[in-house]
Structure 1
Amino acid sequence: MKEQLKIITTEDGSHSLYHEGLKETYHSFHGAFKESIHVFMLYGLDSWLMNNPKKKPIRIFEVGFGTGLNAWLTLVWAEQNQIPVLYHSIEPFPLSEEIYSQLNYGDIDDAIFHYKPYLQRLHKMEWNKGEVVSEYFNMKKEIATLEDVILYPSDVVFFDAFAPSKQPELWAKPLLSKVYDAMTPGGLFTTYCAQGQLKRDLKDLGFEVETLPGPPGKKEMTRGWKK
């Protein structure tokens, strides 16, 4: 995997990775940092908190640990809001230290620069084992596929797999159903993807589906609430 990955700089100055085998980037060219903030923090965690101000801890499941950006931003969010988070992430192809040690997310925003060391810690922590990472952030990351992983109950799902055109099996209805079944009533599902088939499948499963403004460079994104 390592030789297929190339670090690129997106339009907001933050890094992403280009997978030469899939001919796909891990994040939007228009800004990896801004995309994660928009899709997973603003329309994910902020929205969840608004609807569930007293429900703690928040249990999050992420499809695609990747560069660790979503997990790291969630840790920052949890510490700033003083809300405990239990974070479960899967990644079948973990990055090498040669790659993740160069990622610049901790340098993008001066206001959260002091959280920078946690990004490396998230990558270096042991796989397939839970760990207390900070006062408000507990995490378990697994080397696993969505097909094989055993899911815990989740309040919020970050569905951040490669695009359906690149990995259609991950967006197929049977796997979406697996995720849906593990979510708690009222749970939130958020993704950058705005594909029509995805929205239809989510509705069929029982989600209340919303088409929302997308991050920079993308017109729309999708969010679903489990009824």
Structure 2
Amino acid sequence: MSDQLKIITTEDGSHSLYHERLKESYHSFHGAYKESLHVFLIYGLDSWLVQNPNKFPIRIFEVGFGTGLNAWLTLVWAEQNQIPVLYHTIEPFPISKEIYSQLNYINQNDAIWHYHKYFQALHEAEWNQGGPISEYFNFKKDQVTLEEAQLYPSDVVFFDAFAPSKQPELWHIDLLRKVTEAMRPGGVLTTYSAMGQFKRDLKELGLAVENPPGPPGKKEMTRAWKINPVQSEG
């Protein structure tokens, strides 16, 4: 697959990958680093923590490990906040060392540069085996498709698959049901996509759907909460 991937530089200076066959990038052309922070950290992890300030460890499931950017930013977040995170991600087509060793995410912010060794550690971790990467970050990556994956209970879901127009099967309600059933009450799912059918499917599955402002270059994104029955009665 590596011969189908090309490293590109997005508008905020951070790298992404462009998949030649799918004609799709792994992140927004307007800024990979800013997109990940906005969609998954600010409107995902931070938002969940506001609603659940003392519920640790936080269990995160990511659809699409990809370049490892979301996982690495979450690790940095966990270390800086000293909050334990259990992170499970899937990726059927891992990128090669030749590619991930060239990605420039560690240079985007001087304040987190000293976490650079963990970016390599995430990529070098054994597939299909879990374990600690740092003091507050426990990590498991499975080389499987979403259809094949065994899911664990999750508080936060980073739904970072390729766009619905490129991989529609990943956005089908049957797979969304699998993901949302594994979410714990009060859990949140966040994604860059604001596709209408996707939001309607999430509502059909019982989630409360919101449309926060999107990252640079995108008007909206999607965030969906799994209603906590105890809270909803109040």
TM-score under structure 1 length normalisation: 1.00
Q: Does 1:156 align with 2:126?
A: no
| 2:38 paired residue number | 38
- Alpha-carbon distance in 2 for matches of 1:81, 1:54: 13
| 1:136 paired residue number | 136
What does 1:45-60 correspond to in 2, within 5 Å?
45-60=45-60
CA deviations on 1:206-225 (whole Å, 9 max, x unpaired) are 00000110000011000000
| 2:202 paired residue number | 202
Q: Does 1:8 align with 2:3?
A: no
Q: State the 1:44 CA deviation.
A: 0.6
Q: What is the SS of the residue equivalent to 1:220?
A: coil
Q: What is the SS of the residue equivalent to 1:212?
A: coil
- Alpha-carbon distance in 2 for matches of 1:148, 1:60: 18
Q: State the 1:131 CA deviation.
A: 1.4
Q: Does 1:175 align with 2:161?
A: no
Q: What is the SS of the residue equivalent to 1:46?
A: helix
Q: Which amino acid aligns with 2:113?
A: F
Q: What is the SS of the residue equivalent to 1:213?
A: coil
- Alpha-carbon distance in 2 for matches of 1:182, 1:39: 21
Q: State the 1:117 CA deviation.
A: 1.1
Q: State the 1:29 CA deviation.
A: 0.1
Runs of 4+ in 1 over 2 A off after TM superposition: none
Q: Which amino acid aligns with 1:102?
A: Q
- Alpha-carbon distance in 2 for matches of 1:145, 1:125: 18
| 1:193 paired residue number | 193
| 1:111 paired residue number | 111
Aligned residues with identical type, % of pairs? 75
| 1:124 paired residue number | 124
Q: State the 1:181 CA deviation.
A: 0.5
Q: Quote the RMSD (CA, aligned, Å).
A: 0.4
- Alpha-carbon distance in 1 for matches of 2:116, 2:50: 27
- Alpha-carbon distance in 2 for matches of 1:49, 1:178: 24
Q: What is the SS of the residue equivalent to 1:149?
A: coil
- Alpha-carbon distance in 2 for matches of 1:133, 1:120: 10
- Alpha-carbon distance in 1 for matches of 2:33, 2:120: 16
Q: Which amino acid aligns with 1:214?
A: G
What is the aligned residue count? 227
- Alpha-carbon distance in 1 for matches of 2:197, 2:206: 14
- Alpha-carbon distance in 2 for matches of 1:131, 1:101: 22
CA deviations on 1:57-114 (whole Å, 9 max, x unpaired) are 0000000000000000000000011100000000000010000000000011001010
Q: Which amino acid aligns with 1:69?
A: L
- Alpha-carbon distance in 1 for matches of 2:139, 2:77: 14
| 2:83 paired residue number | 83
TM-score under structure 2 length normalisation: 0.97
- Alpha-carbon distance in 2 for matches of 1:14, 1:131: 28
Q: Which amino acid aligns with 2:168?
A: P
| 2:71 paired residue number | 71
- Alpha-carbon distance in 2 for matches of 1:74, 1:43: 13
- Alpha-carbon distance in 2 for matches of 1:179, 1:17: 26
- Alpha-carbon distance in 2 for matches of 1:51, 1:141: 27
Q: What is the SS of the residue equivalent to 1:184?
A: strand
Q: State the 1:152 CA deviation.
A: 0.3
- Alpha-carbon distance in 2 for matches of 1:126, 1:150: 17
